[in-house]
Structure 1
């Protein structure tokens, strides 16, 4: 197929916090050096921020470095954290941890509560003002390599192909976009990242990684109940011993709260539904009282990389680098990855700018890997390296206490000499269904609790029903039938969008419901499902998430 070819100095795949920070830093450096530097950012969503979802409590340390005057320039971070709460929930009680007992590393003083999607839209405006070319609605579907295996760019998806794979009258072939360096900032489970990782063995020695799923809603509550700047994290009920993870409730904006649940993959019960557990969380008396009289205005979900230092792949390869959640720089202890993602983008930009100034292209950006390790990103990951393994091995209660003890020792200058390993890939934790019983079904009241299909209306999903399905099966029909029996089709429960439905012994895929959270690829126990990019612009259209 003949494709148009466009060339840039630097191509960035993904307009999230990491990708936009890289783009801004590249143009800043080019202006400082008086050099011409063409920078292109591709974003698969119809508009920047439409696929972005996070809690979000944001540490501004990276933003302070990138755009020091952001406060006076209208950045949508206006709600500083005023109150921190950590609660242990039972079915009807909420036990508050004394603030003095919490390790200093988890203190949110100086952080802000807000919408990551809105922040990314603002960052996109800053990037375009600096001369970055930003193209929403163009998803990267394949990597391009030269004869030496160096990444030379990507191919964007074809438009106007029907479900049968036939070209329609609106067919437009994808474009090959070439660059001297390509930075991948696709988030967890990116398709081009997956291809590059396999081509260059970036995960040799660290395995597949550790992931979890965040399910989030935004509510507008009565003004009298709103406590601006209050940040609450919960452990315990409803997940209990069934899975690692915890809930959050953040107050911000005009009587808005973000309420959600993060469920760590690696749980054993294939009947567990993170979506339903999130709905149950809202029935806790403390949270239900807060939501009473309120209105749910947004819903969404996304997978997160949470393995930390021990799960980091090699971040550089010939022709480019991995940024943000594509690599996995989340600090699990602090429940934050936005600041580290932004810093990774800035450091990659600086390494690229140096390489281009020296006349190099398509080589490995060793300076980036070294700078990451030497930066505060590397320090945070090293200091918290044992948190995720402790949570995986010991459970939320004991794992949190042991992690807290280690952090207190660190605060006193005592560093643990050991590095714990993860117990294996997170998907390997799920066990066959014969050892479990179906969990009690959630009966939504459509006031406080809701079903998945009704929730999707708040995600503004848009997929052309006639386009080819972007959710693929990797197994044979015989393997699929055996998997359904062995694990009782767990995707019908862990998918937060109702994409997968069990009918007459087989699973039907309703791809038009997909939230692009990628849980199906990252959590399936036999890696039988594969997420691929649909036609550009498809998917959720999150507002204020």
Structure 2
């Protein structure tokens, strides 16, 4: 095939992803130097369309960016009034006294927010400073400089046919080149994954760990709504099958954000994370809250959980990794947005200093140093043993040991357990089907619990069907040849959107990929035991259209 010719545009900084990290970077760049040319490229149909987070926001990142954010009208209004930590049995609940929890676990001073709406507001602030923001512009390729650095990205390619060849309405997209390229794609970003592999950025670090987070927004009976209340649970229904837990946040307008997280290092391939979430809603304490209400939105995304030990080197020739692309979530706090924003601020500071010094395309070592030694590192170091403890010892023991370790770190700055490590990837944790019992899940009742395809409709997901599948199989025969007999093909269950099916056709089993359903959570790229699935970005604007996740 002939080489594709593309037009090119030059910027000082090119940012991939209009999440909290990318937008914070763009804003700080223009605050420090209004003359810089900055562009933000967002694959969603609009800013916020692909943003999904709990979310209880620690405002430290927002404070650093805009100390007057309240006066500016930021959609950050519901301050946390009450914290609850519960351990669930099948029919009962046990509340942990708040005084037992390390102070860092308190949500006092934090806010229940829609991060999609926060990002829409941040985009308005950025555009007011002169940042160019282009939604619906997927970045499908990296542009490499002759010296081997990342020099830019290809964005806005449309019109490829199902076989990958250009169709009659093909648009090749453009090369957007920058002195520096900031990758703020979120968890397991396709370009970030390439950069990490090419430059060996994870060498000497622990494997990154992940969870799958699923969320619904419900409108509930006003008599049951307690604005500002935050509840986290662990225990049932996961029990010993997997690590994880739930969140229930009482937001504005009689809405609650209810979600469930399953750590992806579970061994039993018969586990069905989505159905664990649906089963959770039938716990008496939860069912009573939801009774008389209605679900109005659904979505899912992977969460980086490796913590400080798993952060790769975050600077490379020509660019940096920001936010969840670098894995900056504080796992026990279930918070990463504040660190994402701080990473954008730190990267912008390093880039402006470099450009003022006449540099471009080099490795911003100052950013990587700041990331591993500044406020973000302080936030993550003191909780670094919680996730390894969870992986090795399960909920109760991890809660006790992790709580002790966090208390000591909070009081003295010292972790008595040192630094515990992650031994292998989540995919490698997957056990053989013959070694694990099948799990019988109750059928969704259509009132509190729902089947996947019904719920996916509430993510407002859409993909142009004529394009190539963005879920790419290295070996199309492997799911039936290997994954089905050995692992009962877990893609049928770990996907929260019903993308993958095993069907009978013409007397044989076939693996079907319904990529149109994909909500871009990227769990398949992470959990497939054979690492046979690669998530790539579809054409711009496709995917979920979250209203206020």
TM-score for the superposition, normalised by structure 1: 0.98
**Aligned positions of 1:199-210 closer than 5 A:** 199-210=198-209
Tell me the equivalent position of 1:222.
221
1:517 aligns with 2:516: no
Tell me the equivalent position of 2:27.
24
For the residue of structure 2 that corresponds to 1:412, the secondary structure is helix
What is the total number of aligned residue pairs between the two structures? 541
Mapped partners of 1:99, 1:198: distance in 2: 43
Q: CA RMSD in A?
A: 1.2
Retained in 2: the 8 A contact 1:489–1:507?
Answer: no
Structure 2 spans left out of the alignment, 5+ residues: none
Retained in 2: the 8 A contact 1:39–1:132?
Answer: yes
Tell me the equivalent position of 2:396.
397
**Aligned positions of 1:125-204 closer than 5 A:** 125-204=124-203
Mapped partners of 1:160, 1:79: distance in 2: 43
For the residue of structure 2 that corresponds to 1:92, the secondary structure is coil
Mapped partners of 2:184, 2:206: distance in 1: 20
Retained in 1: the 8 A contact 2:207–2:306?
Answer: no
1:118-168 deviation per Cα after TM superposition (whole angstroms, max 9, x unaligned): 100100010001000001001111111122211101112521122133433
Which of 530, 534, 547 is matched with 1:530 structurally?
Answer: 534
Tell me the equivalent position of 1:408.
407
Structure 1 spans left out of the alignment, 5+ residues: none
1:103 aligns with 2:102: yes
Mapped partners of 1:502, 1:313: distance in 2: 36
Mapped partners of 2:251, 2:483: distance in 1: 44
TM superposition shift of 1:283: 0.3
For the residue of structure 1 that corresponds to 2:33, the secondary structure is helix
Tell me the equivalent position of 1:428.
428
Retained in 2: the 8 A contact 1:355–1:361?
Answer: yes
Mapped partners of 1:497, 1:69: distance in 2: 40
Retained in 2: the 8 A contact 1:484–1:506?
Answer: no
**Aligned positions of 1:26-41 closer than 5 A:** 26-31=29-34, 36-41=35-40
Tell me the equivalent position of 1:4.
7
**Aligned positions of 1:439-458 closer than 5 A:** 439-458=439-458
Tell me the equivalent position of 1:329.
328
1:408-450 deviation per Cα after TM superposition (whole angstroms, max 9, x unaligned): 2223326135211113212211101011232113311111100
TM-score for the superposition, normalised by structure 2: 0.97
Retained in 1: the 8 A contact 2:206–2:421?
Answer: no
Tell me the equivalent position of 1:482.
482
Mapped partners of 2:58, 2:304: distance in 1: 18
1:261-309 deviation per Cα after TM superposition (whole angstroms, max 9, x unaligned): 0111100010111110000110000000000000100000000111011
Mapped partners of 1:51, 1:154: distance in 2: 20
TM superposition shift of 1:509: 0.3
Mapped partners of 2:463, 2:182: distance in 1: 27
For the residue of structure 2 that corresponds to 1:402, the secondary structure is helix
Mapped partners of 1:23, 1:437: distance in 2: 50
Structure 1 range deviating more: 336-345 or 505-514: 505-514
Tell me the equivalent position of 1:539.
543
Retained in 2: the 8 A contact 1:212–1:306?
Answer: yes
Retained in 2: the 8 A contact 1:8–1:178?
Answer: yes
For the residue of structure 2 that corresponds to 1:109, the secondary structure is coil
1:78-130 deviation per Cα after TM superposition (whole angstroms, max 9, x unaligned): 00000000000001001001111111110000000010101001000100010
1:467 aligns with 2:467: yes
Retained in 2: the 8 A contact 1:118–1:544?
Answer: yes
Tell me the equivalent position of 2:82.
83
For the residue of structure 2 that corresponds to 1:199, the secondary structure is helix
Mapped partners of 1:478, 1:169: distance in 2: 33
**Aligned positions of 1:257-336 closer than 5 A:** 257-336=256-335
Tell me the equivalent position of 2:68.
69
TM superposition shift of 1:202: 0.6
